[in-house]
Amino acid sequence: MNTDATGPAFFDVVLNQRAHRYLSPDAVADSLIEQILTAATHAPSGENAQPWIFVVVRDPVVRGEVGRLVAESWTSGSSDRTAEMVPPWMHREVDHWAREGLATAPVHVVVCVDERLCHEGLWGSSIFPAVQNLLLAASALGLGSLMSTYPVAFTPQLRTMLSLPDHVHPLAVVPLGFPAKALGPPRRIPMQDKTFRERYGEAW
């Protein structure tokens, strides 16, 4: 066992994870980011290749530009399309996030894959478990975050701003900060309604 471990109870963290779209601009210390990214690097990956790369962005110019790109895309079409697919309360939250919440977050963790270490068919199964560890660890430490792949639509701009070489591809941009809004437990469909026994169609 790794012996320097601690924190709240595992299921308390996992069953209460939420997407935090309202974050305080207060700074997040390096020591917290190090605990969070250590958790991320303990995720599984294909052939244990550990193909993840994290770029921790605090520069307000870069965060502002990422926020501006997302806000522009959101207000010029995505907002209307999303409104058709999610309940109004969620649309209001995403609207806040896209217009200002993302840029306000004091840290953006840009999670990338190194294509030299991982076949493209395994990018998802080798990177998103690490992102999930990142989100859970943030939650365990009292920080807010959310899974966001939206900014990946702006990969050419990210590549320029972050000096990403051609073999490094951003797959998620995770905003991190202290929550500015308390959230209740997540709303989920019970596992019994998502699970079949032996074959599709046979109720659990």
Q: According to CB under 8 A, which residues from 16 to 55 bind a second copy?
A: 16-17, 19, 34-35, 37-44, 46-50, 52-55
**Minimum distance from CB of 130 to a second copy (Å)?**
8
**Contact call for residue 204 and a second copy (CB under 8 A):** yes
Nearer to a second copy, 149 or 157 (CB): 149
Residues numbered 124-183 forming contacts with a second copy, rule: CB under 8 A = 124-125, 127-129, 131-133, 135-137, 140, 146-147, 149, 161-165, 168, 171-172
Residues numbered 75-94 forming contacts with a second copy, rule: CB under 8 A = 82, 85-86, 90
Region near a second copy per CB under 8 A, out of 21-29, 65-73, 96-104, 118-126: 118-126
Nearest to 149 by CA among 47, 19, 27: 19
Q: How many CB atoms lie within 10 A of CB 186?
A: 10
DSSP assignment string, 167-186:
TEEEEEEEEEE-BSS---PP
**Minimum distance from CB of 71 to a second copy (Å)?**
18
Nearest to 108 by CA among 164, 67, 69, 160: 67
Please report, for residues 3, 13, 109, 159, 176, the alpha-carbon distance to residue 169 in angstroms, rounded to integers and kept in the order given: 34, 29, 13, 8, 20
Region near a second copy per CB under 8 A, out of 14-22, 70-78, 98-106: 14-22
Phi-psi region of 198 (alpha: psi -120 to 50; beta: other; left: phi over 0): left
